[in-house]
Structure 1
């Protein structure tokens, strides 16, 4: 079977959502071109400085590789966070990541939950469990990762922060928030999310129309060495996201392009809702000074630390 794009090389991949059979070279070019289109739409090419969040996983490596082809790598700063998960975060992975980014000409800066917050993710989960709280590790991890990424974006004076969320991630988030009835949170996502505070650096997702299987194949074809082991917290206790993911895969298999259609419809509804939105600037947390939700004195992150008894431990250490 000949590649539908170049008409010369042997096709090795079937792009189900488009129906095209592609050779490896044309598949890579297709992904790169779609990322470039999204990057232009998100004004990434005009930014003087872009912070990219990199974990060392396939998505962040594909993000760095594709953006470095359309943006001067000197205008990109990569940011890595070590959450502190035993057997999952390894120093060797950070070294490999640093070497790869250095070859691309991208600077890497790093931090850790332990160094920035005073506690590793394992310590947060353990402390909350000792208090009989049923707080998922993902609740701690997601909130604090977003906080540290935003802080890093401010620290380096980035115009935009780019994350490696792919199409599957985006649609999972949409469905989860719909199931929870969280309309306000839905409005914060999308192609052009609302910016409700001057302390927020606008976040963009150049891979949001690239399937996860495509980022995986891109990484394998390019020969990237990336962490393939799933976070042990997800394996130990499957989250709503994991359950939604399985349902999504079934629907996509039955109707190729389903995920793209969901995203496109959501973007249209989100744009309409944002035009009618009259939300003002978010208030700030009385403890950390970061933005929090309307009607709340403390941000979710500080509330989690207080509930787990970690805020008291941190104050005792300072004294």
Structure 2
């Protein structure tokens, strides 16, 4: 069967949400066009410098590849974090990532939880567990990754911090915060997020309208070598995100395009609410000085380290 777009080449992909059969070339061009559209909406094309968070997984490789075709690679800096998970973080993966980014003309800077926080993720989880705390590894990991990525963005004077979150990730986040009733976090999701602190670098997600299966196929067609092993903490203790993910996959299978529709409706609703809402500027953590939530003395990251017995609240 021929491609529905070009009508010249054999179709290799069925795009369920658009009901189109696409050849390899038209599929890759479609992804690039959607990323460029989102990048324009988020004003990335006018940025002097963009920090992209890269893990070596498929999404971050697709982010680097597509963004380097839209923005001059000299204006992009990649940032990698080694969390410190036994059997998961490997030096050869970081080397391969660095080599690929060099081919794109993108410089890579790296750090680790151990170097920047003082503890590996394994050590944080172990200490928390020994104290009988029911804290998921993802809670530690997500919070400290966001903190380090934002800090790196400030250090390189980036106008934006760009992450490889795809459509599936975005919709999962929306549903999770709806279930938790966290309205303030919901208002910070979207294609035009409010800046609640001068210490925050604006965060953008150019892949937010691209399905995860599409980033997988993009990476496959491009011949990327990426980390395919799922984090052992996710399989050992499924999080709410993993459960929501499975529900959304079932919904998408029954109604192709459902995730895209949820996100577009949410963006429209969130923007109208933000226009009539004044969130104010976030206070600073008394321990690390980074922004924290309203009504908190310490940020969530420092609270986790304190409750795990890794640091003390009166540390100077």
The match for 2:242 is 242
Q: Secondary structure at the match of 1:277?
A: coil
Structure 2 residue aligned with 1:86:
86
Distance 1:53 1:156 in 2: 13
Q: 1:282 to 1:22 in 2, by over 3 A?
A: same
Which sections of structure 1, spanning at least 5 residues, go unmatched? Answer: none
TM-score scaled to structure 1, two decimals?
A: 0.98
Map of 1:1-319 to 2, 5 A cutoff?
Answer: 1-312=1-312
Aligned counterparts of 1:180 and 1:279: Cα–Cα separation in 2: 19
Cα distance between partner residues in 2 of 1:312 and 1:271: 40
Q: Secondary structure at the match of 2:244?
A: helix
Does the residue aligned with 2:132 lie in a helix, a strand or coil? coil
Cα distance change, pair 313–182 in 1 and its aligned pair in 2 (3 A): closer
CA deviation digits over 1:106-125, x for unaligned, max 9?
Answer: 00000000000000000000
Structure 1 residue 274: Cα displacement: 0.7
Q: For 1:131 and 1:66, locate their aligned partners in 2 and report how far apart those are by CA, in whole Å.
A: 44
The answer as to whether partners of 2:79 and 2:149 remain within 8 angstroms in 1 is: yes
2:288 & 2:302 partners in 1: Cα distance? 7
Query: 2-side partners of 1:115 and 1:312: how far apart?
Result: 19
Question: Could you tell me how far 1:92 is from its partner in structure 2?
Answer: 0.3
Paired residue secondary structure (2:296): coil
Q: Which runs of 5+ in 2 are unaligned?
A: none
| Partner SS state of residue 111, structure 2 | strand
The total of aligned residue pairs comes to: 316
Task: Give the Cα–Cα distance (whole angstroms) in 1 for the partners of residues 63 and 6 of structure 2.
Answer: 25
Secondary structure in 1 matching 2:311: helix
Deviations 1:224-276 (A, max 9, x none): 00000000000000111011111101110111100000001100111011111
Q: Is the 8 A contact 2:306 2:313 kept in 1?
A: no
- For residue 194 of structure 1, report the CA deviation from its aligned partner: 1.4
SS across alignment from 1:291: coil
**Distance (Å, rounded) in 1 between the aligned partners of 2:314 and 2:189:** 33
Per-residue CA shift, 1:51-75, capped at 9, x if unaligned? Answer: 0000000000000000000100000
Find the residue that maps to 1:79 and give its secondary structure: strand
Q: In structure 2, do the counterparts of structure 1 residues 224 and 178 end up closer, same or farther at CA, with 3 Å as the change threshold?
A: same
SS at match of 2:70: coil
Deviation at 1:313, TM superposition (A): 11
